[in-house]
Amino acid sequence: MKAWMSLIAICVALSGCSDDGPWGGPAGTKMGISKKQVEKYSVLELVGKNDTGVALYISKQAPSMSSAADSYEYVFSPAGQLCILQMRFDNVNKTASPLMLNLKTKYGLPVKDPVVPWGVVWSSEKYKLGDSLAEISAEFQGKEPSVSAVVSFSFENVKDCKPQS
């Protein structure tokens, strides 16, 4: 009987250590997960390169769909680790409000983003973000009542999302 209990305890412990996801970060992700790990939950389509020249993938799915974004963009380092996740909302009046409210509740009011005319940012220099996040930014476009938003989550490994020279 003790042998069976030990075996069950080992199995439970090993399954608790699994890194299969969804994970505790934004949209069920976390820093450094691989493209293959994301593909267990999302159909990824290569759409080109981001502004730093690294491959950009888009999907209608995420490991956790709780944020209800219209699409998700994934940037992986040249070594294949997730370093940026972007959520796109076509109409923030009906979809992004809960996410922005959750971010404000969790981290406080954001700072005006000086780079973006209509944007805000939470930086790990000023806010305690957790989930290995270096920065969260939100950029809004359009005119009310038709405003879209891109909410970007940059993980601490974002410096790795630059092409190797």
pLDDT along the chain (165 residues), means of 10: 39 49 93 95 91 86 88 92 94 70 88 87 92 94 85 94 67
The pTM assigned to this predicted structure is 0.82
- Cβ burial 114-138 (10 Å sphere, 16+ → b, else e): eeeeebbbbbeeebebeeebbbbbb
Residues forming beta bridges with residue 57, ordered by sequence position: 46, 74
By C-alpha distance, which of 150, 165, 95 is closest to 119? 150
C-alpha distance from residue 150 to each of 88, 139, 147 (Å):
5, 5, 10
* pLDDT score recorded for residue 146: 82
